[in-house]
Amino acid sequence: MKNMTVLGAGIMGHGVAQLFAQAGKNVRIQARRQESLDQARELITNSLKIMVEKDMLTTSEMKATQARITYTTNLYEALQDADFVLESIPEVLELKLDTYEIVESVVSEKTIISSNTSTFPLKDLTQRAKHPERFIITHFFNPPQLVPLVEIVKVAVTEEKVIQATYHLMKEIGRSPVILQKEVPGFIVNRIQVAMLREAFHLMEMGVATAEDIDIVMKGSMGFKWAFCGPMESQDLAGLQTTKYMVENLLPELSDVKEPPAFLTEMVENNQLGIRTGKGFYTYADNQAAEKIRKRDDDFLELLRLLNREKETLHSYSG
């Protein structure tokens, strides 16, 4: 597969377009508004520049990557000769369905159509599809050009060759894909994340820990370990007898509420939405967002460098 089309040039779309281009693919990225495309171009340039600064990319690789991306507001033009279409437009079902109708009317029958949806089941996304068997979900994580995981979601009707081609494409662009064995709401990561957040919110409500304490605790324990040693591997190292005691003793103590905590609803009602409104669990100065994102990306790149080094070491051990 050589020609990639990315629909939507927002937080996720621009990062996935960058990944495809870095892997040598021709990329067309489409958004409705020229401003979205201009912003995407700037974000991609900035992200590539940081990689050059960190010696993870040469200047000529950066230029070649940029040259492989075409920006357009014209959906029909974006879809010409597409081998793989990645839809990353807003999470509004009608918008996505209308877009797929046009996509299917333009692309060849061999073209794979994937969605970056975080919440919609594949059967909803394909309710008006002429060829539901070539639809698939590829769920990336923000920032997609740095976070390795992609959750691949298929259903019974999805063609095996579509699943395999998508899996190999994700590998080719340097991701770590996982194919879900069956579709469930929230896929894997967001289910585990929400389970963890429920308990963190519960601890805050009980007055055990502040938001800042929760961050210190997680960064210094699970966050530190999990990039290299996953939760299941960690249990094997600790011993499963201990795991069984811990689960048995603590499960009855944990929160099992089915609704968001009142304090979260109140924060949202008061426009305390986090960095974009200057206040969330922390308070942010006006110009802090860009700086914070730059620092996060710097840290993630350092982690990636370590993970890549580990992969290379394992590769050389195995000959």
The site for ligand NAD (CB under 6 A) is made up of 7-13, 30-33, 36, 88-91, 95, 99, 116-118, 139-142
- Nearest distance, CB of residue 116 and ligand NAD, angstroms: 4
If the CB atoms of residues 217 and 289 are measured against ligand NAD, the closer one turns out to be: 289
Residue 118 C-beta: closest distance to ligand NAD, Å: 4
Question: What are the φ and ψ backbone dihedral angles of 123, each rounded to 5 degrees?
Answer: -70, -30
Q: Report the run of H or E that residue 292 belongs to, with start and end.
A: helix 288-317
When the beta carbons of 141 and 255 are compared against ligand NAD, the nearer one is 141
Tokens linked to 116:
């970056």
Among all chains, which residue has been given the structure tokens 């990062």? 15
CB-wise, 116 or 126, nearer to ligand NAD?
116
Tokens, residue 291: 């700086």
Kindly state the greatest CA–CA separation across the chain. Answer: 59
The CA distance from 207 to 236, in Å, is 32
Report the alpha-carbon distance of residue 16 to residue 21 in Å, rounded.
9
Closest CA to 138 of 21, 13, 9, 31: 13
User: What CA dihedral angle connects 183, 186, 190 and 194, to 10 degrees?
Assistant: -130
State the DSSP H helix or E strand holding residue 86, giving kind and residue range, or none if neither: strand 84-87
Nearest distance from C-beta of residue 155 to ligand NAD, angstroms: 18
Give 122's DSSP letter: H
Closer to ligand NAD by Cβ: residue 94 or 160: 94
CA 121 to each of CA 93, 116, 140: distance values in angstroms, whole numbers, following the listed order: 10, 11, 15
To the nearest whole angstrom, how small is the minimum distance from the Cβ of residue 123 to ligand NAD?
Answer: 16
Measured from the CB atom, is 32 or 128 closer to ligand NAD? 32
Rounded to a whole number of angstroms, the minimum distance from the CB of residue 61 to ligand NAD is 25
**Of 186 and 261, CB closest to ligand NAD:** 186
Closer of 12 and 82 to ligand NAD (Cβ): 12
Q: Which residue is nearest to ligand NAD (CB)?
A: 10
At 64, the amino acid letter reads A
Three-state SS at 168 = helix
* Complex with ligand NAD: residue 33 or 309, whichever CB lies closer: 33
Parallel, antiparallel, or unpaired: how do β-strands 84-87 and 26-30 relate? unpaired
Q: Tokens at residue 6, please?
A: 């990315």
Task: Tell me how far, at minimum, the Cβ of 129 lies from ligand NAD, in Å.
Answer: 17
* Shortest separation between residue 149's beta carbon and ligand NAD, angstroms: 11
| Strand, coil or helix: 219 | helix
Q: How far is the CB of 270 from ligand NAD (least distance, A)?
A: 22
